[in-house]
Structure 1
Amino acid sequence: MRVVLIGGTGHIGSYLVPRLVRRGHDVVSLSRGSRRPYVEDPAWEVVEQVTVDREDRDAEGTFAGLVKDLEPEVVIDLLCFTLDSAVALVEGLRGHIDHLVHCGSVWIHGPSLRAPILESNESAPFGQYGIEKARIASMLSHETASGGMVTTSLHPGHISGPGWAVINAVGNTDHTVWERLAAGQVLDIPGLGAEMMAHVHADDVAQAFSLAVEHRDAAAGESFHVAAASALTVRGLAELAAGWFGQAVELRSVSWEEFGAATTAEFAEASWDHLIRSHHVSIAKAERLLGYRPAYAPEEAVKEAVRWLVDHGRIATTSSMHD
């Protein structure tokens, strides 16, 4: 099939584009053209690459038309963050494509009420990002249920992999957290450290998107969580990460006020956003309907990302990582 992928050189697209090519699809990658894929692959040599700024095109009302003119059968949207943008794409493509696959987020759910969280979880989202993703998923489900375009929404957890800052043991991207664990220093954690995080390797997310394309009928109108089979707690990830450097973990439980006073407002807000949700999502539906089988445990996905950061000098440490 001819597949147009919006956001092709990002975290997911870097792994998804080669997967689609190897499955025999004709792939067009749309991006702003400001960076190379995170992972080099010879498959990119046969990919048509189109440079476009979606935000500008959305403002002009021309983005959906540009996508339609590429004559796709399938559109995979990895770069949609507002309901208005999603509605414009649906209205512009309705009747012209076979399948629209949207990238949502586990943040369509609010704070965890029970674990694992099912797709039907009723905990209301909060914050602009989570609320907009939930609104988009609802709109797409209604679109298919009402006889319109066939759509599917996939909701990844905390996407991890080599080449970017991943969510650390306290729920933010502060590299000094890894450095303290690597040095065996005391790490302050807000609360008790029992909050959960839903890390998933970017290639496993790409696997799920590829499967949704292959199993269109099973995926039609559905939403799926995409994460590892298990989740990591704050304490669990901290202990594992210290062990990667041959260290024993030493944690100190502090109040949120103390935690916030010792870091930046940005990192404190990120930690609160991740840990207050405490997400461990079920992937049973994706396993059953799509055949999704994550290759990475959450700690394996995070370790690969941390190793890249160490190897590229993003994390300063005198300790080497253990295999």
Structure 2
Amino acid sequence: MRIVVIGGSGHIGTFLVPRLVRAGHEVVNISRGTSTAYIDAPEWRQVRQVAADRERQDAEGVFGATVLDLEPDVVVDLVCFTLESATALVEALRGRAAHLLHCGSIWRYGKSRKLPIAEGADSTEPPLDEYGIQKDRIARMLKQETASGGLVTTTIHPGHIVGPGWHPIGPLGNLDPAVWSALATGQALRVPGSGTEMMHHVHADDLAQAFELAIANRDAAAGEDFNIVAPTALSVRGYADIAAAWFGRTATLESVTWEEFRASTEPGYADASWGHLDRSQCFTIEKAKARLGYAPAYEPEQAVLESLRWLIDNGELDLPVPRPLGSEPLTPPR
């Protein structure tokens, strides 16, 4: 099939586009043309690149026509953030494409009520911010579109995406490099809350696997949404303990109030920590396993360790080389 990937040069596309090429599809990548995939792969030489500024074309009302001109069988939309933008694309593709796959987010869900969180269950409070509200509205619109006999759609909701080429969400739910330094050198780490709050990561290649499976199993994926995460989630305490052990250390955690934590770190890091830990989310992947055959290759700590090694090797984190306890991280299937 001819598959058009919108925003295929980022986290997910780095792994998804080569997978689709290896599966025998003709792949077209639409991007602004300002970045390349995080990891080079020979399959990219077979990909047609189309430069387009989606934000500008959405404002002009022509982005749907840009996608249609490429005559896609399948469209994978990795960079849609508003209901207005998603609706315009659906209206352009209706009757002209076979399948639209949208990248949502687990932040369509708010604070946890019951764990693990399942699709369609009353497991969380409503979304907490505009990003999550828009992702929730998009997912609901797409589900209704397919249920009413319109365009076949599928929504994939990833957890906190991890992989080589970018910083992972760390044990305090933020991107502060000082967290890794404290764990690597045995310094005390100030932890807000109880330390039992949960975060659910996913390796970018496991996420790419889910998109590929949904394309290959269109009937099973039609009109559905799927939470795509690692097999397990990490608590703050557990995450810190595992990470410290990579450096031959034992995590020393100092429990502080949120007020004390905010006073001791930058506002952006504090806000990110609150956003992740206040939600305290853990998801089930049983629906994706049953309907799509989803089989993640990475536990969350394996994905984070791979990311840290890349950052250290490329000079983006000044830390000793971490060593895993037990087996090496799994190699993603090819």
SS at match of 1:187: strand
Correspondences of 1:107-146 after superposition (within 5 Å): 107-122=107-122, 123=124, 124-146=126-148
SS at match of 1:270: helix
CA contact (8 A) 1:176 1:315 kept: no
Measure the CA separation in 1 of the matches of 2:121 and 2:264. 35
Aligned residues with identical type, % of pairs: 57
Correspondences of 1:15-94 after superposition (within 5 Å): 15-94=15-94
Match of 1:196 in 2: 198
CA deviation digits over 1:47-66, x for unaligned, max 9?
00111111111111110110
Measure the CA separation in 2 of the matches of 1:132 and 1:153. 13
What is the TM-score when the length of structure 1 is the normalising length? 0.98
Correspondences of 1:150-169 after superposition (within 5 Å): 150-169=152-171
Match of 1:10 in 2: 10
More moved, 232-241 vs 120-129: 120-129
SS at match of 2:172: coil
Measure the CA separation in 2 of the matches of 1:55 and 1:295. 35
Q: Could you tell me how far 1:176 is from its partner in structure 2? A: 1.1
> Runs of at least 4 residues of structure 1 off by over 3 A?
none
Q: Could you tell me how far 1:132 is from its partner in structure 2? A: 0.4
Match of 1:321 in 2: 322
SS at match of 1:29: strand
Q: Which runs of 5+ in 2 are unaligned?
A: 325-334
Measure the CA separation in 2 of the matches of 1:250 and 1:164. 26
SS at match of 1:91: helix
Q: Could you tell me how far 1:121 is from its partner in structure 2? A: 3.0
Equivalent residue letter for 2:156: L
Q: Could you tell me how far 1:320 is from its partner in structure 2? A: 2.8
Equivalent residue letter for 2:61: G
Measure the CA separation in 2 of the matches of 1:61 and 1:184. 55
Match of 2:176 in 1: 174
Equivalent residue letter for 1:47: V
Q: Which runs of 5+ in 1 are unaligned?
A: none
Q: Could you tell me how far 1:120 is from its partner in structure 2? A: 1.3
SS at match of 2:182: helix
Alignment of 1:270 onto 2:272: yes
Measure the CA separation in 1 of the matches of 2:75 and 2:323. 41
Q: How many residues align?
A: 322
Measure the CA separation in 2 of the matches of 1:157 and 1:245. 26
CA contact (8 A) 1:108 1:130 kept: yes
Specify which of 296, 301, 304 is matched with residue 302 of structure 1.
Answer: 304
Measure the CA separation in 2 of the matches of 1:108 and 1:240. 28
CA contact (8 A) 1:175 1:314 kept: no
CA contact (8 A) 1:109 1:130 kept: yes
Equivalent residue letter for 1:157: G
SS at match of 1:44: helix
Equivalent residue letter for 1:105: S
Measure the CA separation in 2 of the matches of 1:53 and 1:244. 42
Measure the CA separation in 1 of the matches of 2:223 and 2:321. 47
Match of 1:147 in 2: 149
Measure the CA separation in 2 of the matches of 1:88 and 1:18. 28
Say what the alpha-carbon RMSD is for the aligned residues. Answer: 0.8
Alignment of 1:240 onto 2:274: no
Measure the CA separation in 2 of the matches of 1:131 and 1:161. 26
CA deviation digits over 1:151-181, x for unaligned, max 9?
0000000000011111000000111111111
CA contact (8 A) 2:309 2:321 kept: no
SS at match of 1:159: strand
Measure the CA separation in 2 of the matches of 1:143 and 1:56. 25
CA contact (8 A) 2:193 2:256 kept: yes
Specify which of 206, 212, 215 is matched with residue 213 of structure 1.
Answer: 215
